[in-house]
Structure 1
Amino acid sequence: MAVKRLTAAELHDAVDDLADLLTDTVDGGASIGFLAPLDRGAAVAWWRGRADAVSAGHLAVWVAHTGDRLLGTVTLAFPDKPNSRHRAELVKLMVHRDGRGQGLGRTLLATAETEAAAAGVTLLHLDTETDSPAESLYLSAGWTRLGAIPDYAATPSGELRPTTIFYKQLRAVAGAARSTVDVEC
């Protein structure tokens, strides 16, 4: 299993695989901002819309793949305000249903945390559906639960659910971020 940070050009090249992952994640019931059924064309367009932000350095996208099969992704969103450069938001941690239960989510999360710290980020935050499997992952990885907002987002089926806010403080490390990480899953 390899985890690699994508350039904007690589994201463009991987857009079909990323769209398949996004539709699988939504079809699997994950509340990641989309309603089911998610049209594949809409998923392709959504990923294509990320390329400019990746190119500008506002988003960093990592993908996990085994051979030529993309099984997961995670994204960090970096604020553009001068007083916010020490933090980032972890968004769209997705694992294909075929790759779940193998530690891939934990690997992607650890990669994002390590790379954020290498980039000088000292604070990460995220929101996730309350009582979801993702919430357990963040708690077990040392994230701090801040609280929940009732009826914050809809599940893919349209049901309003609470969202839990998490944060994690990091220690910045010297050195440039790596572009490829080989891991055992």
Structure 2
Amino acid sequence: MRLLGLDPGLRHTGWGIIEAEGNTLRHLANGAISSDGDLSLSERLVQLYDGISKVILDWQPAEAAVEETFVNKNPVSTLKLGQARGISLLVPSLNGLPVEEYAPNKIKKSVVGAGHAGKEQIHAMVGMLLPGCVIANEHAADALAVAICHAHYAGSNRSLKKATMMAGRAP
């Protein structure tokens, strides 16, 4: 199954594409979509929209995963991050992809084994889990970590949803 991981940010939204077959993960591509800080907020969001749309068109993932937003001390930054995150949720959904969200600690735990791992540990483990992968930048590394996390939990999530739906149909 081809998976898209997204690490939302207004300046840079990281993306990573992996294939998961059983317990085997394979890196396909990664990068970051950057917005122009000289443009208006709405124009920057369009840049993110267009960039994520192109990644989906180019790589045809089956599912997407997005890192949940943590609260910043600066409310303006938090709002801007939330808007970029909204684009990261919207574009895959508009393209018919199921989208899951994961908390940063869950991502860290699934990749490193500890929920409070540092960025260096996460990036090193992404490289180990995806041999031969050349990571474009820190945003792409974070997005690949999101995709890896989703690969670990996607099957369980699908089974749980199916069981819940079946239970709702029971007489």
How high is the TM-score relative to the length of structure 2? 0.31
Judging by fraction of residues, say which structure has more strand: 1
Decide which structure has greater helix share.
2
Higher RCO, Cα 8 Å, sep 6+: 2
